[in-house]
Amino acid sequence: MDDETRPGQVHLTDLIHRARGGRPIPTAVAHPCDHHAVRAACDAAETGLIRPILVGPMARVRDAAEAEGVDISAFETVDAPYSEASAAAAVAAVRSGQAEMLMKGSLHTDELLTAALDPALGLRTKRRLSHVYLMDVPLYSKLLLITDAAVNIAPALEEKRDIVQNSIDLAHAIGIALPNVAILSALETVTPRLPSTLDAAALCKMADRGQISGGRLDGPLAFDNAVNLAAAADKGIVSPVAGAADILVVPDLEAGNMLAKQLTFLAGAEAAGVVLGARVPVVLTSRADSDAARLASCAVAVLLARFRAAAPAVGAS
């Protein structure tokens, strides 16, 4: 569906435009040793979003840049012999203040996050790290944030509290003042037979008690009731969140991963992604991402970095 059929819709391209024009954020790009990673760093630099600091085995990085036909001669570089060393050096660049964001190159996600989570040398805060997909879905009236589909496999209640708060903070950073947060399950009623419904009810009560702030929570809600007002009405659900969710909090990583990929490959959604809860935003890109998706992920992280600089995030150590 084109933009004309969705008046007022905020798209990922709007976030890219919004992120342009400010100070480019110094960004440590860990192990950009293939054409996808080098192209992503160059595109983000050319758009004015980031100032890349390329961290990795520089002979391989230059070979990748030459093969892709891009010029990296103006970028700062840090030589590191292999992927784990690249991750550690990129994290060290953030800790030293040389970089203000972290970006995944062609190494594995767990290699980068292992370095970021190192108790002594990493980027931990009081918050649990979590991932948020921002989905631009043609059939939905606004951006849809999905969490967590990439980092936390089977989060417990306290971890879900951080996942929810991280996503609310991101929503604020992209301009959603009071996001509607739907805690998903397979049912709309609370039952001990389905633990995700108990977690949903507890999270809503935690919001009532101020343990989660800045958003409007409801759950448990099934997916259809969270995004479709008619489906919610058919079930007799009266809620300002039902049918109007900004954020979908999934029960576990498997559910979130399947949901995000279904929206991408069957509903034509574009997706950006960022990891929250660390000292700085962490951009995770995938080989399957389009160039536009990689650029949007950088733009979201830049908006978050600038938002934090203006008002430091609660939970930062």
| pLDDT tens digits for range 186-243 | 999 999 999 999 999 999 999 999 999 999 999 999 999 999 999 999 999 999 999 9
C-beta of residue 25 within 8 angstroms of C-beta of residue 100: yes
CA distance 14 to 40: 18
Residue 5 DSSP class: G
**pLDDT tens-digit series, residues 143-161:** 999 999 999 999 999 999 9
Tokens for 22, please give them.
Answer: 């400010």
Based on DSSP, count helices (H) and strands (E) in the chain, helices before strands: 11, 11
Domain boundaries, the chain: 126-277
In degrees, to the nearest 5, what angle opens at C-alpha 298 toward C-alphas 147 and 272? 35
**CA nearest neighbour of 242 among 262, 219, 263:** 219
C-beta of residue 85 within 8 angstroms of C-beta of residue 60: no
Report residue 248: phi and psi, to 5°: -110, 120
C-beta of residue 114 within 8 angstroms of C-beta of residue 276: no
Per-residue confidence (pLDDT) for residue 312, from 0 to 100: 55
CATH topology for 126-277 is Isopropylmalate Dehydrogenase (3.40.718)
Global pTM?
0.92
Starting at the edge strand that comes first in sequence, how are the strands of the sheet with 282-283 ordered? 76-79, 50-56, 25-30, 101-104, 282-283, 270-276, 130-136, 144-147, 247-249, 180-184, 216-221
Low-confidence ranges of the chain (pLDDT < 70): 1-9, 312-317
Runs of H (alpha helix) within 139-265:
157-173, 195-208, 223-227, 229-234, 253-265
Per-residue confidence (pLDDT) for residue 7, from 0 to 100: 46
